[in-house]
Amino acid sequence: MSAELLRLRKWPVLWVLLGIGLTLDVLFGYVFDYLSYRTGSRPVSEDAPLLAGLLPAGVPVTTVEGMPMFGGAILLILGALAAGSGYGWGTWKTVLTTAPSRLRAFTGLLGALGAVVAGLVAAMFAVNFACAFAIAAAESSSFDLPPLADLARAAGGALLMHSMWASCGVLLGIVARGPALAVGLGMVWTLAVENLLRGTGNVLAPVAAVADLLPGTAAGSLAGALGAVPFADNGTPGVLSTLDGSAAALLLSGWTVVFTLLAGLLLTRRDVM
């Protein structure tokens, strides 16, 4: 794992992606909503709940609400690049002739990506708290912290969502044996196919049954269960109320395990050219 952490830590792409993730998180979580609040471009009745979401007590919900959409996409891209680029650079070949076993090399990559996911989640909470405290100070509002249980649930949910999308990216990178196709396929799936299937599910019951089990449905439902307002109720894109929290968490864990096992199976059994 320390080998993979070393090469990820010095990879400019990692920092660019993490920077984009944090920037989007701050922009969509705080900046746009606060500007909307300050400019009064909403009905007055919505001002109080809008401000409440921007204060420290609202950090758990605000942090997870962006994860099903752009957060997932960024982690999927990271996973696909981290696993897929090694085929083009020839580094899988070098690593697999150096590491004691293919499985050790694969678990090293997973461990390093897990550390990156944990770091990103921690950074998002830290940045969001900083924004929330700044807004609370500017508006002379409450500095009350959220209950620790809510914070822990949100952090756990965030880790689960990001881990699932990162493992999906790793699988795509290994399947495609390169980053470009993997990223393309991942984006088409998360941004188009899943939404189309959910749309089709509204008119075709069998499709709805399948759509309820998709990775994006699980991630969106978990964010919804953690308090984010579903898109259908004028909330955040990607947030759903299809599954309850336990079912969504279970499904997310299941997808993470499936993606990881498939990726591991392919990497350890396929020829490396």
d(CA 7, CA 94): 14
- According to the binding rule CB under 8 A, does residue 265 interact with another protein? no
DSSP 233: G
Closest listed residue to residue 77, CA positions, set 1, 191, 155, 248: 191
- According to the binding rule CB under 8 A, does residue 19 interact with another protein? no
Q: Hunting for tokens 């599910």 — which residue is that?
A: 201
Among 61, 95, 131, 197, binds another protein (CB under 8 A): 95
Tokens found for residue 133: 């405290």
- According to the binding rule CB under 8 A, does residue 245 interact with another protein? no
Chain centroid to Cα 257, Å, comes to 16
Least gap, CB of 172 to another protein (angstroms): 20
d(CA 170, CA 77): 9
Residues contacting another protein: total by CB under 8 A: 26
Q: How many residues does the chain have?
A: 273
Among 7, 28, 237, 253, binds another protein (CB under 8 A): 7
- According to the binding rule CB under 8 A, does residue 18 interact with another protein? no
Q: Are 125 and 156 in contact (CB under 8 A)?
A: no
Tokens found for residue 256: 């993470």
Least gap, CB of 116 to another protein (angstroms): 16
Among 140, 203, 206, 271, binds another protein (CB under 8 A): 271
Binding mask 98-137 for another protein (x = CB under 8 A): xxx---xx--x-----------------------------
Among 94, 142, 202, 246, binds another protein (CB under 8 A): 94
Q: Hunting for tokens 């807004």 — which residue is that?
A: 135
Binding mask 146-185 for another protein (x = CB under 8 A): ----------------------------------------
Residues 6+ positions from 24 with CB-CB distance below 8 Å: 66, 70, 71, 74
Amino acid at 60: P
Rank residues 111 and 156 by Cβ distance to another protein and give the closer one: 111
Among 30, 34, 70, 92, binds another protein (CB under 8 A): 92
Least gap, CB of 84 to another protein (angstroms): 13
Amino acid at 86: G
Closest listed residue to residue 173, CA positions, set 95, 255, 272, 81: 81
Least gap, CB of 118 to another protein (angstroms): 20
- According to the binding rule CB under 8 A, does residue 90 interact with another protein? yes
Tokens found for residue 181: 């196709």
| Binding segment toward another protein, per CB under 8 A, in 17-25, 96-104, 161-169, 198-206 | 96-104
Residues 6+ positions from 244 with CB-CB distance below 8 Å: 221, 225
Rank residues 16 and 188 by Cβ distance to another protein and give the closer one: 16
Q: Which residues contribute to the site for another protein (CB under 8 A)?
A: 2-4, 6-7, 10-12, 89-100, 104-105, 108, 271-273
